[in-house]
Structure 1
Amino acid sequence: MNYETDAVVVGAGPVGLFAVFQCGMVKMRCHLVDALDAVGGQCMALYPEKPIYDIPGFASLPAAELIARLEAQAAAFKPTIHLGRQMVGLDRVADSWRCTLSDGTQITAKAVIIAAGSGAFGPNRPPLDGITAFEGKGAGLGVHYFVARREDFRGKSVVIAGGGDSAVDWAISLAELAERVMVVHRRPKFRAAPESESRLKDLADAGRVELVVPYQLHGLEGDNGRLAAVTVATLEGEVRRLEADALLPFFGLATNLGPIAEWGLAMDRNTIAVDPATMATSAPGIFAAGDISAYPGKLKLILTGFAEAARAAHSAYEFAHPGEALHFEHSTSAGVPR
């Protein structure tokens, strides 16, 4: 099928959903494209029940609830949504862009906003012999790289490996319901947000979490794919055995920009270089927001991505409607355009 619209947003994560809303606020018709089968990006695919702590106005908000709120907000403008389809082609045609999807659909738009996070993603698997035999063994058992349901780990003995935000946040969360939570990290200092690290250490002092430091993953024990224990070792070779029902290794994601890297945009390593004043890329009419965009001093926060999405939408309007003044009004006075 062929479509014509004002803007195409690539990526249906939180920033992409908010970009759709912001396009609607400046009266731009919008199509939304994502390779996943549901909106939400990493929030829904990797950690729908993980609490997010840096959304203004919410002390804590589960990722799935954040996505539901953003989806409802964007729905007011009735965007056309293409899920389970990757945008594989981007070609300049006259004064517009022709976006080609993996199913052959073509969308012609005045502007494109790329909000694809870090691109396609998958877990970094730790190099442990036989680890694949313990993957996908059911709720709360074996090796899991993401937590879809906290409740799966109720009453379980869980080993969490890693020292970043995901490892620390899930240790804090699962301490509320797991029988035992052990956090394995190669050094006493964690790489998580200071407040989260402080909460983790408070739980350790209270005996609700065990910090297994300085250790690294060494091996897995079990029969017929059922995990029995995780062995860990120091750099000096001291080995410990941790009886466990589940191992959660949080060593980040392996990402791949896929076709985006072939669109001829100026890149900054694995991100797209933009002008922070407009979120414009090196190509006219193409803008980027969220983790995929790069500029000096950028903070990789959802909050920052929301602001970038708003700026990108306004810049897209100015590009699509040259010479037309955009009379911006706050939503409290203008309401939602109809």
Structure 2
Amino acid sequence: MPVPAVPDTVIETDALVIGAGPVGLFQAFQLGLLGLSAHLVDVLPQAGGQCVALYADKPIYDIPAVPVCTGRELTERLLSQIAPFRPGLHFGHEVQTLQLLDDGRFAVGTGSDCGAGPQFLARSVFVAAGVGAFTPRRLKVPGLEAHAQRQVVHHPEDVTPFAGQRVLVVGGDEAALLRAAQLAEHPCATQVILLHRRDQFSADADLLARVAALRAAGRLQVVIGQISAAHTADDRLQAVTVLGVQGDEVLWPLDVLIVCLGLSPRLGPIVDWGLEMERKLLRVDLATFETRLPGVYAVGDINTYPGKKKLILCGFHEATLAAHAAHDRLRPQEHGPLLYTTSSALLHRRLGLTS
């Protein structure tokens, strides 16, 4: 097919990294060392992948030279490490289409609940999607999806914009309790309700004590039950009906519904890209970590090969070899001896250590 004209809204880059977990972030670092520009796209609202989504504050003990760090700390260090290369970071978008063009570049389209997202023309693509795109579990209540991203939000990173409104938080794990507590503690808090299907919650002892204190002080109300209906007027969500454990129904007026029912991974559109798969994993060349489609690489938990181990450390190794393979493919004229960050003046300039 002919190469399409490039609209102003399309971002051109040497590499597009799908997934901003630890391996995706380290992929961007290795690409930056080699002088390749990179953009990262992740369906989650922040970097870190499952390290932040599932165990942000739990310890990790097997990162080289780091005796212990949390998933959040590891992510922050990796973001600091890639900062000199200024990669583009695009959160809250899912990569939906990948098309190989006649000139060897890839047209990549993204989207979100709000519609089309950024579009890319990339000379190479790195799939670092872990076990799949982590997407929020939804409430299957008719009428709620129409208010997504306006009044119905899933796992918001910052709850400050909702302070001072009537907020109903749904969920019983740490994510739900933390957001309910933050809202109830805000100086502008009005009505904060935590809704869960049973009076049992999963969180660390400190957070449970924090929620109990807010309940005792009357700043946070806990309701046991499930949403059974949504009520809309003038194109706005006005209230929900909550079905209690005894079969009673109560109408709760609200301004904002925050849903924290956990995250579930799914492969999504990757299965339609014509890549060779084995048990929902991408098969790769062990020397380059390239998939069956030249120019498309897979690193981290999303790939498979003989001897594969699903460890962050292994993902870092894969990202390094994949970056060098892409560099040799895109810039064969620059192929030469391996450079080391301890002694290379070129790498020092790229890292911003010298001018």
TM-score band, normalised by shorter chain: 0.5 to 0.7
- Aligned match of 1:22 in 19, 30, 52? 30
- Aligned match of 2:192 in 173, 181, 194? 181
Change in Cα spacing, 1:261 to 1:54, as seen in structure 2 (3 Å) is: farther
Kindly state the Cα deviation for residue 161 of structure 1 after the two structures are TM-superposed. Answer: 1.4
Q: Which amino acid is 1:156 matched to?
A: Q
Cα distance in 2 between the residues matched to 1:150 and 1:41: 19
Residue deviations 1:233-274 (CA, integer Å, cap 9, x gap): 2455233443433212234468563255423232444x5467
Q: Which residue of 2 aligns with 1:210?
A: 221
Change in Cα spacing, 1:118 to 1:7, as seen in structure 2 (3 Å) is: farther
Q: Which residue of 1 aligns with 2:107?
A: 101
- Aligned match of 1:258 in 236, 252, 269? 269
RMSD: 5.2
Change in Cα spacing, 1:181 to 1:315, as seen in structure 2 (3 Å) is: same
Q: Which amino acid is 2:18 matched to?
A: G
Kindly state the Cα deviation for residue 166 of structure 1 after the two structures are TM-superposed. Answer: 3.7
Kept in 2, the 8 Å contact 1:99–1:108? The answer is yes
Q: Which amino acid is 1:264 matched to?
A: L
Cα distance in 2 between the residues matched to 1:165 and 1:248: 14
Q: Which residue of 1 aligns with 2:8?
A: none
- Aligned match of 1:88 in 98, 102, 105? 98
1:73-84 matches, within 5 Å, as 73-74=81-82, 76-77=84-85
Q: Which residue of 1 aligns with 2:45?
A: 43
Q: Which amino acid is 2:319 matched to?
A: A
Kindly state the Cα deviation for residue 324 of structure 1 after the two structures are TM-superposed. Answer: 7.4
Q: Which amino acid is 1:250 matched to?
A: C
Kindly state the Cα deviation for residue 130 of structure 1 after the two structures are TM-superposed. Answer: 3.3
Q: What SS is found at the alignment partner of 1:20?
A: helix
Q: Which residue of 2 aligns with 1:37?
A: none
Cα distance in 2 between the residues matched to 1:239 and 1:233: 5
Change in Cα spacing, 1:238 to 1:245, as seen in structure 2 (3 Å) is: same
Kept in 1, the 8 Å contact 2:196–2:226? The answer is yes
1:10 aligns with 2:38: no
Cα distance in 2 between the residues matched to 1:225 and 1:263: 41
Cα distance in 2 between the residues matched to 1:226 and 1:125: 19
Q: Which amino acid is 2:191 matched to?
A: R
Query: Greater CA deviation, 204-213 or 77-86?
Result: 77-86
> What percentage of residue pairs aligned between the two structures are identical?
25
- Aligned match of 2:156 in 129, 147, 153? 147
Q: Which amino acid is 1:126 matched to?
A: L
Residue deviations 1:3-49 (CA, integer Å, cap 9, x gap): xx997342263543442112233x25244364xxxxx652259xxxx
Q: Which residue of 2 aligns with 1:131?
A: 144
Change in Cα spacing, 1:7 to 1:230, as seen in structure 2 (3 Å) is: same
Kept in 2, the 8 Å contact 1:24–1:337? The answer is no
Using the size of structure 1 for normalisation, the TM-score is 0.61
Kept in 2, the 8 Å contact 1:118–1:256? The answer is yes
Cα distance in 2 between the residues matched to 1:205 and 1:79: 43
Kindly state the Cα deviation for residue 101 of structure 1 after the two structures are TM-superposed. Answer: 0.8
Residue deviations 1:74-129 (CA, integer Å, cap 9, x gap): 353466999998661359x9xxx9442148986555xx521246767865542324
Q: Which amino acid is 1:312 matched to?
A: E
Q: Which residue of 2 aligns with 1:159?
A: 168
Change in Cα spacing, 1:20 to 1:336, as seen in structure 2 (3 Å) is: farther
Kindly state the Cα deviation for residue 212 of structure 1 after the two structures are TM-superposed. Answer: 2.6
Structure 2 unaligned regions, length at least 5: 5-11, 48-52, 60-67, 110-118, 330-334, 351-355
Kindly state the Cα deviation for residue 162 of structure 1 after the two structures are TM-superposed. Answer: 2.5
Q: Which amino acid is 2:221 matched to?
A: E
Q: Which amino acid is 1:205 matched to?
A: A
1:316 aligns with 2:322: yes
Change in Cα spacing, 1:256 to 1:318, as seen in structure 2 (3 Å) is: closer
1:288 aligns with 2:298: yes
- Aligned match of 1:32 in 28, 39, 64? 39
Residue deviations 1:287-324 (CA, integer Å, cap 9, x gap): 4346745798747xxxx4xx565323322256466997
1:228-307 matches, within 5 Å, as 228-234=238-244, 236-251=246-261, 252=263, 257-259=268-270, 261-269=272-280, 272=282, 280=289, 283=292, 287-289=297-299, 292=302, 298=310, 304=312, 307=313
Count the aligned residue pairs.
Answer: 297
Kept in 2, the 8 Å contact 1:186–1:216? The answer is yes
Structure 1 unaligned regions, length at least 5: 35-39
Cα distance in 1 between the residues matched to 2:236 and 2:83: 44
Change in Cα spacing, 1:298 to 1:121, as seen in structure 2 (3 Å) is: closer
